Amino acid sequence: MRQKEISLNIRPLKPHDDDADDVHVGSSAETPLRQDAFELDDDEKITRIEKHFHEIMHILGLDLNDDSLSGTPRRVAKMYVKEVFSGLNPKNRPHARLFENKYNYDQMLVEKDITFYSHCEHHFVPIYGKAHVAYFSSGKVIGLSKINRIVQYFSKRPQVQERLTVQIGKEMQRVLHTDDIAVVIDANHMCVASRGVGDTNSKTGTAYFSGKFKDDNIKREFLNYVNSK
């Protein structure tokens, strides 16, 4: 499992290069967004995406006069903006209220098996799996549901799994004012299962460990708990 993205030294590709489809270039821990990403409101984005997806379906040869297909461009546009990519918009970032650690609980807290659905930014097909998140309190605690919401927020955007893992870890550090954070993600990638190599059995694992979780004993305790039934 990798704690952070690996920088790949990849040769430049020409437009006709047959290997171009399989080269996945990493960027950074931040989702690549233009500075004008939110100048259009959601309604305008939906209208424009609907128009373009209508054209895609037309190019594919589909009959958009058919009752089953006529509403698809609009449905896809709304799904993109309001649902599966809603995590792109910072206004949807969850507000995590902190509480005093009145119990003086000084052991790790683990929220495991958080189900998430995301989309691969290379092919726009689903990534889905489980996230496991842990932290040591620095004097404050967070509502358990807010951990789930943080995972969902960063999942709902075009992603690579390494970046998703780092984003969740850094957000937990920011919110809880502590470096003692661990994140492990096990995921299925439909870009591997439903196309390309067509491997339906493999999974991808990534991890983010900071603070106390860099200690081998604490890391092992966390991973043992994650792997327990």
Task: Report the catalytic residues.
Answer: 120-123, 161, 189, 191
From CA 205, how far away is CA 187, in angstroms rounded? 7
113: alpha, beta or left? (left if phi > 0; alpha if psi -120 to 50): left
DSSP string over 95-147: ---EEE-TT---S-EEEEEEEEEEEETTT--EEEEEEEEEE--SSEEE-HHHH
Paired sense of beta strands 158-159 and 109-120, if any: parallel
Structure tokens at 35: 């500075």
Candidates 131, 227, 228, 117; CA nearest to 181 is 131
From CA 204, how far away is CA 206, in angstroms rounded? 7
